[in-house]
Amino acid sequence: MRNYIIKRILLVIPVIIIVALIAFFITNLMPGDPVRVILGNFATEEQVIRLEQELGLDQPLIIRFFSWLSRVVRGDFGNSIYLDAPVSEILLSRIKPTFMIAVSSQLLGLVMGLTLGITAAVNHKKILDQLSIGVSLLGISIPSFWLSLILIYIFAVRLGWLPVSGFSSFSEAGLGALRYLILPSVTLAFMQAGLIARMTRSAMLDTLKQDYIRTARSKGLSAKVIVLKHAFRNSLFPVITVIGHSFAVLLGGTWIIETIFVIPGTGFLAINAIMRRDIPVIQACIIFVAFIYIILNLLVDLSYGLINPKIKYN
């Protein structure tokens, strides 16, 4: 097990280097010159050249790449072109809101998704099954930006229960921070719930057909024990895979939601950086998301062994 973990962690290094390579070249080859964005429409060529030199953008791409890579492996992503501050510091300051939104959405999505999925499977081909499928389909299909605007309209504009936008941490606002978390979390959780519910239903239906479930029923075990202890636990593998992947997708989803709700997280930072062609920030955000994605995949793989002790890692 330990060897397996070490091997997997070591494998992260080449993957991150490949991601870094792609991030660097994509951001540097995309159209839109950050210098002209900063200087505006009426900059003279002299001003452009001067700023290019200041930012080191006058160097050949390949030299810039190696210089950048040597800094990145030491955790230094350079300075933000727009905000004129170290990117790593900016990124660190933005992780907390994203993490809060992602975790609350995931928890909410899990509760909603598992409830919908199990209900659908247990009531297979009944009206509750159809309803659950319908709700989960909506979750997958409705664009999160649209849903967020609808939720804002209903719960903030019409009912006045929740704020339209903004963010506050628990350390600043105590439980009042929850008011800012609810709408973005519900928006993202709805999509999560859809994904988790569909996979839970499908896995549960497969499991419920197994012989040992029939045996359990014939032994006279209660429906609750059969569903939750036997069927659900044995359906967890695909569900956990989906949860892991959906959490990674969720991190991408926060990019839009953070922008709409003005939550100062990594997504909001990334979207603004793209609009401003703040190349060092875009690169750091890409690498950050890739890193989280890889770590989550690793955790999902390792969790299989915890759920089913029969699984051995070689």
Partner 1 sequence: MKEVLILKKSIFIITILLLIMMTFSTAAQNETEGVYGGRLNAALKMSAPHLDSDNSTDSQITAMMNHVYEGLFEFDENLQLQPHLAESYSVSDDGREYIVELRQDVMMHNGEKMDADDVLASFERWVNINGAGNLIKPYFDQAEKLDDYRIRFKFEEPYAPFLNIMASPVSNQKFVVRAKEIIDVFGDNVINRHVGTGPYQVKEWIPDQNLSLVRFEDYSPNQMEASFFAGKRTPYLDEIVLNFITDAQVRVSGVQTAQFHFAEEVSRDQYQLFEADANINTQIIYPDQMAVFVTNNGIAPFDNKYARKAMVYALDLEEMGFSMVGNPDFWRLEPSLHEEGNPWYAENVGEGIYNVYDPDKARELLEKADYDGTPLVILSGQDSQVERQGAIAIKDQLERIGIEVELQLFDRPTVVERRSELEGWNIHLSSFIKTVPDPQIHQGWTGTNKWITNWNSEESREMDAIFERMVREVDYDQRYQIVEEFYEKMWETVPYFNMLDYSRLHITRAELKNFEPAWQTFFWNTWLEE
Smallest distance from partner 1 to CB 248, Å: 24
Q: Which of 115, 165, 168, 241 binds partner 1 (CB under 8 A)?
A: 165
The tokens describing 174, both together, are 């105590």
Kindly tell me which of 18 and 150 has the beta carbon lying closer to partner 1: 150
Which residues lie below 8 Å from residue 134, measured CB to CB, with a gap of 6+? none
For residue 153, state whether it binds partner 1 (rule: CB under 8 A).
yes
List b or e across 72-82, with b for residues whose CB sees 16 or more CB atoms inside 10 angstroms: beeeebbbbbb
Stretch that binds partner 1, among 102-110, 154-162, 230-238, 302-310 (CB under 8 A): 154-162
- Encoded one letter per residue, x for contact with partner 1 by CB under 8 A and - for no contact, window 91-130 reads ----------------------------------------
Smallest distance from partner 1 to CB 280, Å: 14
Phi, psi values for residue 143, rounded to 5°: -65, 135
Smallest distance from partner 1 to CB 210, Å: 49
Q: Which of 72, 88, 277, 296 binds partner 1 (CB under 8 A)?
A: 277
**Torsion sign (Cα): 274, 278, 281, 287:** positive
For residue 154, state whether it binds partner 1 (rule: CB under 8 A).
no
Instruction: Scan residues 58-87 and list those touching partner 1 (CB under 8 A).
Output: 82-84
Distances in whole angstroms, Cα of residue 229 to Cα of each of 100, 191, 214, 237 = 31, 27, 14, 14
Stretch that binds partner 1, among 1-9, 124-132, 172-180, 272-280 (CB under 8 A): 272-280
- Cβ atoms < 10 Å from Cβ of 302: 14
Q: Which of 51, 72, 147, 152 binds partner 1 (CB under 8 A)?
A: 152
For residue 267, state whether it binds partner 1 (rule: CB under 8 A).
no
Kindly tell me which of 31 and 309 has the beta carbon lying closer to partner 1: 31
Smallest distance from partner 1 to CB 189, Å: 20
For residue 131, state whether it binds partner 1 (rule: CB under 8 A).
no
Q: Which of 40, 60, 220, 309 binds partner 1 (CB under 8 A)?
A: 40
CA distance 156 to 151: 8
Q: Which of 131, 142, 156, 249 binds partner 1 (CB under 8 A)?
A: 156
Smallest distance from partner 1 to CB 76, Å: 20
Amino acid at 104: S
For residue 3, state whether it binds partner 1 (rule: CB under 8 A).
no
Which residues of the shown chain bind partner 1 in the complex (CB under 8 A)?
Answer: 31-34, 36-44, 47-48, 82-84, 149, 152-153, 156-157, 160, 163-166, 259-262, 264, 268-269, 272, 275-277
